[in-house]
Chain A
Amino acid sequence: DAKTTQPTSMDCAEGRAANLPCNHSTISGNEYVYWYRQIHSQGPQYIIHGLKNNETNEMASLIITEDRKSSTLILPHATLRDTAVYYCIVMYSTLTFGKGTMLLVSP
């Protein structure tokens, strides 16, 4: 599975959009991009995934570049409860977690 690179931490003001970037330059054609998050002391929670097209659900939007070498997870209106570690994962068959991005949403 391809490796991903994410910033270690990011800050966001409550109510603003949080844009979390992820680089996956070695992604292959059949690998999906997944995003999970882990709130402190809980198990990871699925957010969204995509292959080529941009995706949106009730939690977030996923923007994948045309060359698929990077993506951005967008939380349109961040709340304090969105404070968590966000993992970008590129996979075909199993989840390989990196260290993720610690997103801190402040009042």
Chain B
Amino acid sequence: ETGVTQSPTHLIKTRGQQVTLRCSSQSGHNTVSWYQQALGQGPQFIFQYYREEENGRGNFPPRFSGLQFPNYSSELNVNALELDDSALYLCASSLAQRFGGSYNEQFFGPGTRLTVL
């Protein structure tokens, strides 16, 4: 089975621009979660998608948005980029039954390193 993949690996943008990051889930997984990891910090939960619907959100502004497609791949979109958005963005997939219910381990991709200048 293939693992979680993310693209691109690295990205450089300027303040005010928009960015789209992509994630392909592990085969058979129906849930995708996105995290932001600043340098020296632990990953911070952005949001989760379960069967194409947002299914939980962390403390991030609306300019962070996402999509999950019928094949369970996902996109993270960030509008109006700010310098503080520079971070490693991690995607994780899992096979979840329902939000808040039985939990299965999350499989993380290698991340996309975003630099905002």
Give me the interface of A with B, judged by CB distance under 8 Å: 32, 41-46, 49, 85, 87, 91-100
B86 interface hit (Cβ, 8 Å) = no
Q: How large is the interface on B (under 10, 10 to 19, 20 to 34, 35 or more residues)?
A: 20 to 34
A96 to chain B, nearest CB (A): 6
User: Which B residues fall within an 8 A CB radius of A?
Assistant: 4, 33, 35, 40-45, 48, 56, 58, 90, 92, 99-100, 103, 105-111
Q: Is A93 touching B100 in the complex (CB atoms < 8 A)?
A: yes
Contact A96 B45 (CB under 8 A): yes
Nearest B residue (CB) for A32: B103
Given that A92-B100, A98-B42, A100-B42 are contacting pairs, would A44 and B90 also be in contact in the complex, using a CB cutoff of 8 Å?
A: yes
Label chain A's interface by main secondary structure. Answer: loop
* CA gap between A46 and B104 in the complex, in Å: 10
The minimal Cβ–Cβ distance linking A91 to chain B, given in whole angstroms, is 8
Which residue of B is nearest A44, CB measured? B108
A sample of 17 cross-chain residue pairs with beta-carbon separation below 8 angstroms, ordered by A number, consists of A41-B110, A43-B4, A43-B90, A43-B109, A43-B111, A44-B43, A44-B92, A44-B106, A44-B108, A46-B105, A46-B107, A94-B33, A94-B58, A95-B35, A96-B45, A97-B44, A100-B42
User: Which of chain B's residues have a CB closer than 8 A to the CB of A96?
Assistant: 45
Q: How far is the CA of A89 from the CA of B100 in the complex (A)?
A: 15
Chain B residue contacts of A97, Cβ below 8 A: 35, 42-44
A101 CA / B103 CA spacing, docked (Å): 24
- Our pick among A44, A46, A95 for the contact of B45 (Cβ within 8 Å) is A95
Q: Are A95 and B33 in contact (CB under 8 A)?
A: yes
User: Which chain B residues border A85 with CB–CB below 8 Å?
Assistant: 42
